[in-house]
Structure 1
Amino acid sequence: MTNVWFLFFKEVLKQRDYDKSTQLDCEKQRRMNGHVKKMRFQRFLETAATLLYFLLLLAVYSSTSVAASRNQCGKDLRQTLKLTNLVYRETVALTKLYVASQGDGFQQGFCKASVSGIPDPNISGLEPSERIASIYTQLQAFLLHLKQVQEQQENLQPPTSQLLDQLTKVTAYSKRLLVRIKAFYSVLFPNLPLPEPAGGPTTLPPAQNVFQQKVYGCVVLTTYKKLLLNISKERKTLKSKVCGTRRPMNTMNFFR
């Protein structure tokens, strides 16, 4: 009988030890699971923080790039219009000198005559790309007419004439302006090639007598001044639509 009770209590103790061991194992497993979950959550937070950091860097870089691009655009635009200002001033002086160099009887009013074949000084197009392209093609056309005026005046003026020097200077500045306009357009619209003139190649006037040549040259210079003035008026539009700045600008002060 004693042996039976002894064996019974022995089994009870073994079962209790087993239950305790099982509980310890379960507790250990729960702790391990909790630790694993905690580690996974920490890794998730670290990954999210790293991703957020790179997104912030990307946003800052993008904002900086946009700001730098706008600043460069504004700088290029100012330089282009500064050169336009110079060409305008030189053309104003050239026109006055031209009238004074054509001899007695030649009046400023002759410069308002209607001469066929002179390019339109107005800038066409709705989009900025179209208007800059229009400026470029108009400058190209006027350069050919300036060359024609230069050749005519070389036959009418003495070699030491100040008028010839001024014509050469305006033509040189105008070529520089043409190159700058083309570069400005290419940077802003790299995938849009500059179009050919809508009316085809520029046509020069047929043979003219001396008086007709004098009137023609004066009309060319007067009309060219109008084109340069119209280019200056594009500054406000280009700054807001192309360079992204919206500060108002008084175009009447541009040439002062």
Structure 2
Amino acid sequence: MNGHVKSMHFQQCMELATTLLSLLLVMAVDSTRTVAASRNQQCGNSLQQSLKLTKLLQKESVDLIRTYKASQGDMSELFCKVSVNNIPDPNISGLEPSERIVSIYTHLKAFLPHFKRVYEQQKDLQPPTSPLLSSLINVSARNRYLAGLINNFYQSLFPNLPVPEPAGGPTTLPPPQNVFQQKVYGCVVLKTYKELLSNVFQELRVLKNNFCRRRIQINTPFF
């Protein structure tokens, strides 16, 4: 009789253990689904915000260059055609999606000190009410916000991969310049930034159509 009781007790323990194991497995699957769904949503929503802001900045950069040229007086059409050193590279680099997202982020950040320098130079050359000055402030603020979106997007997809520092450090600002050099420098900065935005927009579209869509397909549960 005692053996029978022990057998039943053992069977009940095994059933309880099996139930608990099943419950833990279900919880683990639900947790994995939640994390995957969250990251997939971030991949879509955050990227869509970045695309919209990049497109807006593209339009504003065209208007900004036009405003800049109109504010520089004679020879303004020639300013953007002069070669200038130490301007950030507008081309996105990297083989893996993580590397290319980081490249977008670091390139956007690299333009911030140049926007500040252009603003400081133009503040000395333009009247306080010049629309160019407010436009430069706006483009710098929106560029900073876009860089933040890209950083958040990267962190959500690759939480275990910290954003590396750009190779070679940040680009250096030009030494003191005369008025002509300042006008050239500002125009080239804005033109190069416009090229960067075009490259960023194309890159984000590729990420959305290929990388994010593939992640959603991989993480879609079949049960």
Out of 75, 80, 104, the position equivalent to 2:74 is: 104
Classify 1:209/1:40 alpha carbon distance in 2 versus 1 (closer, same or farther; 3 Å): closer
Structure 1 counterpart of 2:38: 68
Q: How does 1:1-256 map to 2 (within 5 A)?
A: 55-56=25-26, 58-107=28-77, 109-239=78-208, 240-242=210-212, 244-245=215-216
Greater gyration radius: 1
- Aligned pair count reads 215
Is the 8 Å Cα contact of residues 128 and 242 (structure 1) preserved in structure 2? no
> CA–CA distance in 2 between the matches of 1:231 and 1:46?
55
| Root mean square deviation, CA, Å | 2.8
Classify 1:52/1:224 alpha carbon distance in 2 versus 1 (closer, same or farther; 3 Å): same
Q: Which has the higher contact order (CA 8 A, sep 6+)?
A: 2
Moved more, 175-184 or 41-50: 41-50
Superposition TM-score, scaled by structure 2 size: 0.81
Classify 1:196/1:38 alpha carbon distance in 2 versus 1 (closer, same or farther; 3 Å): closer
Classify 1:123/1:44 alpha carbon distance in 2 versus 1 (closer, same or farther; 3 Å): same
CA deviation digits over 1:174-218, x for unaligned, max 9? Answer: 111222222222222233222222122321112222122111111
> CA–CA distance in 1 between the matches of 2:28 and 2:102?
34
Superposition TM-score, scaled by structure 1 size: 0.71
Q: Which runs of 5+ in 2 are unaligned?
A: 218-223
> CA–CA distance in 1 between the matches of 2:18 and 2:163?
48
> CA–CA distance in 2 between the matches of 1:197 and 1:37?
67
Q: Which runs of 5+ in 1 are unaligned?
A: 1-28, 247-256
Identity over aligned pairs, percent: 54
- TM-superposed CA distance for 1:156, in Å, is 0.9
